[in-house]
């Protein structure tokens, strides 16, 4: 079986090319952490008074629709502690 030299050369060439074309980081040698997502990054349904209702003909995707009621949405704080008071797991 012959060694696929073309594939090996293509792999090495694409590895070198991807290394040369990568975006520069702010601090050399370290990877920049991603920014956390905020509520403005999501298009979730809202229920607000005074907001216009779009008139849609046919099938369309409406980003962040205004709804009257959307389930029983609530949050609960997690108060359960795992492990001993020393922080060690049992």
pLDDT computed for residue 88 by the predictor: 59
Mean pLDDT over residues 9-32, rounded? 83
φ, ψ dihedrals at 66, nearest 5°: -95, 115
Give the DSSP letter string of 9-38.
HHHHHHHHHHHHTSPPPSSTTSPPPPPPP-
pLDDT top residue among 86 and 73: 73
Calpha distance 54→52 (Å, rounded): 6
Residue ranges of the domains in the chain? 43-72
Residue 66's CB is within 10 A of a number of other CB atoms, namely: 15
Average pLDDT over residues 31-54: 78
pLDDT at residue 83 in the model: 64
Check if the beta carbon of residue 73 is closer than 8 Å to that of residue 67: no
Predicted pLDDT at 15:
95
Q: Output the pTM of the full model.
A: 0.29
Per-residue pLDDT at 14: 95
């Amino acid at each position: 079986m012959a060694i696929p030299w073309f594939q090996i050369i293509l792999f090495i060439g694409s590895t070198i090319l991807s290394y040369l074309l990568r975006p520069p980081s702010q601090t050399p040698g370290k990877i920049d952490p991603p920014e956390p997502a905020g509520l403005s990054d999501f298009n979730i349904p809202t229920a607000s008074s005074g907001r216009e209702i779009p008139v849609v003909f046919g099938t369309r995707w409406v980003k962040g629709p205004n709804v009257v009621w959307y389930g029983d949405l609530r949050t609960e704080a997690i108060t359960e502690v795992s492990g001993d008071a020393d922080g060690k797991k049992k």
